[in-house]
Amino acid sequence: MVVQSDASRDELTDDEIDRVFHALAATTRRDILRRTIDAEQSVSALAAHYDMSFAAVQKHVAVLEAAELIVKRAEGRERLVRADPVMIARARTLLSRYEDLWRARIDRLDDLLAEPEHP
């Protein structure tokens, strides 16, 4: 049996990365995620905030759910949605790595530009 380290469990697969970036590409989905970080909400309550059909909001919720950024559960006839802090943390780790990569590249470019020119 192979035991994964904590670091490898935090890393997103390419498919997960694609789903997260796709989910976060739409303003409405980012807003739904923000609202569900603050508190669990029904899909009906979420739909009341947008000038679109209930079905359209359901589709946005489905995209967020497929990206595992939110968790949906049934309570009676309602579907309640809440943000998944674990996946959000995994996405944050990925973005931090990208930030570190680009900061290192910019630092290297700054160093190259600061070097005196050789005749």
Q: So what's the pLDDT on residue 3?
A: 42
Is 8 inside a domain boundary?
no
Nearest of 39, 17, 31 to residue 90 by alpha carbon: 17
Dump pLDDT digits (tens) for 18-56: 999 999 999 999 999 999 998 999 999 999 999 999 999
Is 28 inside a domain boundary?
yes
Q: What is the CATH number of the domain that holds 78?
A: 1.10.10.10
Look at the chain and report how many structural domains it folds into: 1
Read off the amino acid at residue 6. D
Per the listing, tokens 């209930």 go with 54
Q: Is 43:65 a contact under the CB 8 Å cutoff?
A: no
Nearest of 55, 33, 43 to residue 80 by alpha carbon: 43
Is 3 inside a domain boundary?
no
Mean pLDDT over residues 98-119, rounded? 86
Dump pLDDT digits (tens) for 54-102: 999 999 999 999 999 999 999 999 999 999 999 999 999 988 988 899 9
Is 89 inside a domain boundary?
yes
The two three-digit tokens of residue 4, written as one number: 């994964």
Phi, psi (deg, nearest 5) at residue 2: -95, 130
The two three-digit tokens of residue 20, written as one number: 């997260």
The structure's pTM equals 0.78
Domain that holds residue 26: 13-114
